[in-house]
Amino acid sequence: MDKKEMKEWLELGLKFHGHICGGMPLGFRAGLLAMETLGVEREPNSTVVALAETGEYHLAGCWVDGIMLATGCTYGKGNMHKLFWGKWAVTLVDPRASRAVRVSVRPEALEQAFNSPFLQQRRAGVPPSEVDQEIARAQFDSVAEAPDGKLFQVSKPFQFEWKSPTTTFEVRRCAECGELAVIRHMRVNDEGKPVCASCLRSPFDYPEDLVVTRGPEHCRWPAPDKT
Ligand SMILES: [Zn+2]
Ligand SMILES: [Zn+2]
């Protein structure tokens, strides 16, 4: 990817992400490096899968947006997963070839970023969009322009079996709330009728083989308001 194209993607990323920071471009660069090493293009469908070791509500979690931007693995398409390990590494999987690569951010690069003026303001409670814009832009640029080798360690491609669930088109109305739901996320109630997960007050109900994506307690949907 040439500099002009990268700049255009990063501008799009900024619009989507909402604020200037170092995390989003870091994920973007990691995604590009993973794609190049694995030999895949930006994913138009749901075939290539990204597994980010990131959690939620921690510093530099923003980088997942950059990974999505670069790789085309997105939450909407279902091929972006968080492992909730609180780490800055991503494994990009090509299930067609049973191959994957893992890109991790060098600890020195992270430590440097975490000691930066940007993070000092964040630690003091300043929301990312309200950090001094010169400081934010400097953080963004330093990540966007650093050589790959300074930011990342990248594995050789290795064997990795991954089977995504097939896309289902089967839907049903919930017997309780009447809303439409995807059948494989529904349960059968005592009367043998299909009931949606929110009416059963269940947490996210992923297929078994996607159980790794389950988040911590606070990620559960609240029970629907029945009033
Ligand atoms: Zn951010
Ligand atoms: Zn329901």
Ligand with minimal distance to 180 CA: 2
pTM: 0.86
Per-residue pLDDT of the chain (227 residues; tens, 9 = 90+): 888 999 999 999 999 999 999 999 999 999 999 999 999 999 999 999 999 999 988 999 999 999 999 999 999 999 999 998 999 999 999 999 999 999 999 999 999 999 999 999 999 999 999 999 999 999 999 999 999 999 999 999 999 999 888 888 999 999 999 999 998 888 888 888 888 877 876 555 544 443 333 444 433 434 445 44
Ligand with minimal distance to 19 CA: 1
Q: How far is the CA of 186 from the centre of ligand 2 (A)?
A: 9
Q: How far is the CA of 99 from the centre of ligand 2 (A)?
A: 40
pLDDT of residue 201: 62
Q: How far apart are the C-alpha atoms of 131 and 117, rounded to whole Å?
A: 9
Q: How far apart are the C-alpha atoms of 64 and 95, rounded to whole Å?
A: 21
Ligand with minimal distance to 28 CA: 1
User: Hey, what domains does the chain have and what are their CATH numbers?
Assistant: 3-159 (3.30.1330.130), 171-219 (no CATH)
Q: How far is the CA of 221 from the centre of ligand 2 (A)?
A: 13
Nearest Cα to 181, choosing from 199, 164, 203?
A: 199
pLDDT of residue 196: 87
Q: How far is the CA of 191 from the centre of ligand 2 (A)?
A: 14
Q: How far apart are the C-alpha atoms of 133 and 194, rounded to whole Å?
A: 52
Count CA atoms within 13 Å of residue 50 on its CB side: 36
Q: How far is the CA of 123 from the centre of ligand 1 (A)?
A: 14
Q: How far is the CA of 67 from the centre of ligand 1 (A)?
A: 12
Ligand with minimal distance to 136 CA: 1
Three-state DSSP at 199 gives coil
Q: How far is the CA of 119 from the centre of ligand 1 (A)?
A: 11
